[in-house]
């Protein structure tokens, strides 16, 4: 009996060690902490995990995750303002949501074009985006993709694909980050910031 319990704990440690940011040692510490705080942490955590596991699904409209067929953002009428922000992944969507400034909807591509990884347009949600444009009233597509070669190649590809839809296509600005010091910026960022300068 006690051997089984030990196996359960070892199994939990090995599973926790697979999480990002955790290794075997930190997983062991986390599990020990959970065991010590059984009623405050372990039980609510296990219940939350069970609930998420039972209910989590991908939003049929935008590719976000939620507990219903349509995520909270897509089912909120107030967010149907004619803007769709295209992002690479859910982490990017969450980052934009944290800023609380964008009041439109999202579209999650699920990756970017990458010849090295064999990711072509067919593996991204571009057709789904086109379908959304044909059935929803959209005025603007905001391409919020990473400023990397793959990210920008994907942005240009999407812009080309949506050229015939007559929808305004914009992209995020590039330049000096808040708190950034010019001396520490790379050439590319300085170039982008200079190119996109505006009257003060």
**Closest CB to other proteins among 112 and 129?**
112
CB of 191 to other proteins, least distance (A): 6
C-alpha dihedral sign at 37, 38, 44, 49: positive
Nearer to other proteins, 23 or 44 (CB): 23
Q: How far is the CB of 156 from other proteins (least distance, A)?
A: 4
SS3 at position 117: coil
In the complex with other proteins, which residue's Cβ is closer, 9 or 193?
A: 193
Gap between the terminal Cα atoms of the chain: 73
Paired with 114 in beta bridges are 119
| Cβ–Cβ < 8 Å for 105, 62 | yes
Q: Which two tokens stand for residue 7?
A: 């196996």
Q: Are 65 and 71 in contact (CB under 8 A)?
A: yes
Complex with other proteins: residue 110 or 121, whichever CB lies closer: 121
Nearer to other proteins, 92 or 150 (CB): 150
In the complex, least distance from residue 35 CB atom to other proteins, rounded to whole angstroms: 26
Give the nearest distance from C-beta 188 to other proteins in angstroms: 2
Would you call 66 helix, strand, or coil by DSSP?
A: strand
Locate 60 and state its tokens: 């049929």
Binding residues for other proteins, rule: CB under 8 A, are: 20-21, 113, 115-118, 120-121, 147-150, 152-153, 156-157, 159-160, 174, 186-189, 191-192, 195
Q: How far is the CB of 14 from other proteins (least distance, A)?
A: 17
Q: Residue 112 in contact with residue 120, Cβ under 8 Å?
A: no
The SS3 of residue 113 is coil
């Amino acid at each position: 009996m006690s051997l089984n319990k030990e196996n359960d704990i070892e199994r939990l440690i090995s599973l926790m060690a697979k999480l990002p940011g955790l290794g075997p040692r930190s997983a062991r510490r986390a599990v020990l902490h959970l065991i010590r705080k059984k009623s405050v942490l372990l039980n609510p955590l296990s219940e939350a995990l069970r609930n998420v596991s039972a209910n989590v699904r991908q939003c049929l409209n935008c590719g976000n995750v939620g507990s219903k067929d349509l995520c909270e953002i897509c089912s909120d009428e107030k967010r149907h303002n004619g803007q769709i922000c295209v992002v690479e992944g859910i982490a990017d969507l969450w980052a934009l949501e944290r800023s609380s400034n964008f009041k439109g909807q999202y579209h999650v591509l699920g990756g970017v074009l990458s010849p090295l990884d064999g990711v072509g347009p067919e593996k991204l949600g571009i057709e789904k985006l086109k379908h959304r444009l044909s059935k929803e009233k959209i005025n603007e597509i905001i391409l919020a993709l990473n400023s990397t070669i793959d990210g920008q190649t994907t942005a240009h590809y999407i812009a080309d694909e949506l050229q015939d839809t007559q929808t305004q296509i914009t992209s995020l600005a590039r330049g000096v980050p808040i708190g950034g010091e010019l001396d520490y910026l790379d050439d590319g960022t300085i170039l982008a910031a200079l190119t996109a300068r505006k009257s003060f």
